[in-house]
């Protein structure tokens, strides 16, 4: 770290960064408002999700829930349906619970106190700092992946950006760099610089407003930073799911509210055991989770899907049962529905990948099921 954060450094750094942001910032819907609620919604959505993906979700969400009271009153299933496809569904569940807390405990006003806002479900250091600085111009420095990357190159830091041991070091530097008269503007400028210029793989250093201050640029070591700890290999699991048909209806089950994809709906199934045939696994998993004895009629398709910490290969089968008597073991709810009614329920992305194949398979067997 050749640079040191002196008054002389900051006198050059702040005008260069803020001047660039003033001329180059993207026009984004959440930048057109000073409503703390709208800013909070956008920051939760932007956590772990790219801007271009978030924009249509944000617009639809704000149209449906324009103020915190309306979000608080909505059923959780409605909130999850609006979030469908955005991923990391714990964000939606926490957002819903936090809205209820804001209404009941804070009279519908997002708290401006650090300790209070941090008690809201889903509000960690990043969300807290982003909302308090952008909505209320309070002096809290945001620290996300973009900001860490800029800091890492600016000072040639050897601390790995993807390890918790380095968080304190990055936080201290971020706080020293903060432009306190306009904290929210500064935080947005830093994140924008990381997103548009100081990119992970192909940084646009000639267009960077602070390249004359950057240790990595001046030492021609930009590609050496940021430092990262090599992640462990991602495990892969073989899964199965069954489209269980009975009396012109299909069975869907609801996942437990806590945990992966909590509260969402899916076809029953589970994980294949080592050495187990996928057809036998489908029969076993459905029996264990619903109590149903099923007969597999046909293979539908196979899809691959990646989650944060693991990948799956999912085989899907058309199944039949003579019973609608369910004994749940794992799922917390079930419905026998018509196929077209499935769009009313919040489903995870893996389901959407194979639903067209399920529809096609069901259309081929109209004699036993009318779509």
- Examine the pLDDT at 302 and tell me if it is beyond 80: yes
The answer to whether residue 310 is domain-embedded is yes
Q: Quick one: the chain helix, strand, coil %, rounded to 5?
A: 50, 15, 35
**Is 176 a domain residue?**
yes
Element (H, E) at 179: none
Compute the average pLDDT of residues 134-139: 97
Contacts 24+ apart (CB under 8 A), 157-162: 157/1, 157/225, 157/226, 157/227, 158/227, 159/227, 160/226, 160/227, 160/228, 160/229, 161/226, 161/227, 161/228, 162/228, 162/229, 162/231
Do 119 and 215 sit in the same domain of this protein?
yes
Same-domain status, 207 and 254: no
Q: How far apart are the C-alpha atoms of 365 and 24, rounded to whole Å?
A: 56
Evaluate whether residue 229 is within a structural domain.
no
162 and 246 share a domain?
Answer: no
What average pLDDT does the chain have? 94
Instruction: For residues 171 and 263, state if they share a domain.
Output: no
For residues 302 and 155, membership in a common domain is answered with: no
pTM, entire model = 0.89
CA distances from 324 to 74, 101, 285 (A): 30, 39, 16
Same-domain check for residues 31 and 97:
yes
Within a domain: 371: no
Query: What pLDDT does residue 283 have?
Result: 97
- The pair phi, psi for residue 191, each rounded to 5°, is -65, -35
- Domain co-membership, 285 together with 356: yes
Is the same domain home to 332 and 217? no
The pLDDT score that the predictor gives to residue 364 is 78
Instruction: Look at residue 371 in the predicted model and tell me its pLDDT.
Output: 38
Query: 137 and 80, same structural domain?
Result: yes
Residue 1 lies in a domain: no
pLDDT bracket for residue 115 (50, 70, 90): very high
Residue 127 belongs to some domain of the structure: yes
pLDDT band at 370 (very low <50, low <70, confident <90, very high): very low
Task: List all residues 6 or more positions away from 348 whose beta carbon is below 8 Å from its beta carbon.
Answer: 89, 261, 264, 266
In a domain, 231, yes or no: no
Q: Which of 43, 266, 295, 360 is catalytic?
A: 43
What CATH code is carried by the domain that includes residue 73? 1.10.340.30
CA distance 101 to 118: 12
* Average of per-residue pLDDT across 165-191: 95
Residue where one domain finishes, among candidates 224, 257, 286: 224
- Based on the domain organization, do 207 and 243 belong to the same domain? no
> What value, to the nearest 5°, has the Cα angle with vertex 188 and ends 182 and 194?
135
Query: CA 192 to CA 186: how far, in whole Å?
Result: 10
Last residue of a domain, one of 167, 197, 224: 224
130 and 13 share a domain?
yes
- Given a cut of 60, whether residue 367 has pLDDT beyond it is no
70 plus 167 within the same structural domain: yes
Total domains in the fold of the chain: 2
Residue positions counted in the chain: 371
Domain encompassing residue 271: 236-364
Q: Give strand pairing partners of 301.
A: 316
**pLDDT value of position 198:** 97
Clarify whether 43 is annotated catalytic. Answer: yes
Domain end, chosen from 224, 245, 264, is at: 224
The tokens describing 35, both together, are 């409503």
| Residues 323, 292 contacting (CB under 8 angstroms) | yes
Determine the Cα–Cα distance for residues 252 and 218; give it in Å rounded to an integer. Answer: 59
The alpha-carbon radius of gyration of the chain (Å, integer) is 25
pLDDT of residue 1: 55
> Does 369 fall in a domain?
no
Confidence of residue 234 (pLDDT cuts 50, 70, 90): confident
Q: What is the CATH number of the domain that holds 312?
A: 3.90.79.10
Q: Find out whether 17 and 193 touch, Cβ atoms under 8 Å.
A: yes
């Amino acid at each position: 770290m050749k640079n040191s954060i002196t008054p002389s450094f900051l006198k050059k750094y702040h005008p260069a960064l803020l001047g660039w942001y003033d001329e180059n910032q993207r026009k984004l819907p959440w930048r057109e408002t000073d409503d703390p609620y709208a800013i909070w919604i956008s920051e939760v959505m932007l956590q772990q999700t790219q801007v271009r993906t978030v924009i249509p979700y944000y617009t639809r969400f704000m149209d449906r829930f324009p103020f915190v009271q309306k979000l608080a009153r909505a059923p959780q299933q409605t909130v999850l349906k609006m979030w469908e496809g955005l991923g990391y569904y714990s964000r939606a569940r926490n957002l819903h619970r936090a809205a209820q807390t804001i209404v009941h405990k804070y009279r519908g006003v997002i708290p401006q106190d650090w300790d209070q806002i941090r008690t809201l479900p889903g509000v960690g250091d990043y969300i807290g700092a982003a909302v308090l600085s952008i909505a209320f111009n309070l002096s809290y420095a945001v620290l996300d992946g973009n900001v860490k990357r800029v800091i890492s190159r600016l000072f040639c830091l050897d601390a790995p950006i993807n390890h918790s041991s380095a968080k304190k070091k990055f936080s201290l530097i971020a706080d020293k760099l903060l432009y306190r008269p306009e904290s929210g503007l500064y935080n947005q400028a830093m994140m924008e610089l990381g997103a548009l210029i100081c990119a992970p793989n192909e940084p646009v250093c000639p267009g960077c407003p602070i390249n004359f201050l950057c240790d990595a640029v001046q030492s021609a070591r930009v590609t050496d930073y940021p430092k990262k700890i090599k992640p462990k290999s991602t495990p892969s699991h073989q899964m199965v799911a069954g489209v269980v048909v009975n009396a012109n209806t299909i069975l869907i089950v609801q996942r437990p509210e806590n945990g992966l994809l909590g509260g969402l709906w899916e076809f029953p199934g589970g994980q294949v055991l080592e050495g187990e045939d996928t057809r036998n696994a489908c029969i076993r998993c459905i029996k264990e989770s619903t109590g149903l004895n099923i007969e597999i009629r046909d293979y539908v398709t196979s899809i691959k899907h990646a989650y944060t910490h693991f990948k799956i290969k999912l085989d899907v089968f058309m199944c039949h049962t003579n019973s609608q008597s369910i004994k749940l073991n794992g799922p917390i709810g079930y419905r026998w529905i018509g196929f077209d009614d499935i769009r009313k329920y919040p489903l995870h992305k893996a389901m959407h990948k194979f639903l067209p194949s399920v529809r096609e398979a069901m259309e081929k067997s109209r004699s036993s099921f009318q779509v």
